[in-house]
Structure 1
Amino acid sequence: MQTTTRLCAALALAVSLSSTAFAAGDHAHGHEHKPLHGGIVVEANDMDYELVAKPDVITLHLRDHGKPAKTEGVSAKLTLLNGTEKSEAMLVSTGEGKLEGKGAFKVAAGTKVVALVALPGKKAANVRFVVK
């Protein structure tokens, strides 16, 4: 019983340390996560998502291993949170590596954006941003 408990504790520690290292960006993959379009970059499911949010247009750039990802058949639903206010936006593909939605959006420093990106043949990505 004591051996099982120690084994489980060691396994839990190993898993928590490995996820901390990944979240901190200490993994080698051959590309950087820097914004190329002046936005905010987040990595999810081995892809980089760069959000560029303006009051009249929101753009989401997708990169796979540093190169623009194919966006044919890709869409995204964004939820924008400003304090207690909540609004939504749908983004559609406008070309390789880019999804876009036009309208009137309340985006300011501190706005939280949750993007649910539907990728054909893959698990949907849930990506979270905070506008700076």
Structure 2
Amino acid sequence: MKLSKLITLAALVAVGPAFAADKHDHAHEHESMHGGLVVEVKDVDLELVAKPDVIQLHLRDHGKPVDVTNGSAKLTLLSGTDKQEVELKPAGDRLESKGSFKVGAGTKLVAVVTLPGKPSTTARFTLK
């Protein structure tokens, strides 16, 4: 094999992993669109918006909203020694519950999302 072909082949082999490790410009898909925390589970982005009077969960699949019409979610809030269970129901394009919630820095939330025809999804959040 000629030296120039060998050098070219070595360069291609060295550069290949760099392209594979590249972010492929997917960062935009995991950004907050509603001011909440975003977690990716099974290629679905779950964005949690937690306020003292309302909790919302927005679901996106590759940037497109997931149909939550017949879905639900159960949230467990852990704030210090306090534990609160919350049921989220469809409210337009999101799952939502209104009430009085103990949310603040350090609050941990576990969401179990159920959508028709799909296995349940579990996501964990920690509020900042």
TM-score band w.r.t. shorter chain: 0.7 to 0.9
Query: Does 2:96 correspond to 1:60?
Result: no
Larger Rg: 2
> Match of 1:8?
none
The Cα RMSD (Å) is: 1.5
For 1:51-82, what per-residue CA distance to the aligned partner results, in whole angstroms no more than 9, with x for missing partners? 00000000001101101111111100000001
Moved over 6 A (4+): none
Query: Does 2:127 correspond to 1:131?
Result: yes
Using the size of structure 1 for normalisation, the TM-score is 0.76
Q: Percent identity?
A: 60
Using the size of structure 2 for normalisation, the TM-score is 0.78
Aligned AA (1:121): G
Residues 1:47 and 1:27: Cα distance change in structure 2 (over 3 Å) = farther
> Match of 1:77?
74
CA distance in 2, matches of 1:27, 1:65: 15
Residues 1:47 and 1:28: Cα distance change in structure 2 (over 3 Å) = farther
Aligned to 2:103, the other structure's residue is in SS state coil
TM alignment of 1:7-22, pairs within 5 A? none
Pairing partner for 1:111 from 101, 107, 119: 107
User: Following TM superposition, by how much is the alpha carbon of 1:83 offset from its aligned partner in structure 2, in angstroms?
Assistant: 1.6
Aligned to 2:29, the other structure's residue is in SS state coil
> Match of 1:20?
none
User: Following TM superposition, by how much is the alpha carbon of 1:28 offset from its aligned partner in structure 2, in angstroms?
Assistant: 4.9
Aligned AA (2:116): P
Structure 1: gaps of 5 or more residues: 1-25
User: Following TM superposition, by how much is the alpha carbon of 1:35 offset from its aligned partner in structure 2, in angstroms?
Assistant: 0.3
Q: Number of aligned pairs?
A: 106
> Match of 2:37?
40
For 1:74-106, what per-residue CA distance to the aligned partner results, in whole angstroms no more than 9, with x for missing partners? 10000000122110110001112x010011000
CA distance in 2, matches of 1:71, 1:32: 19
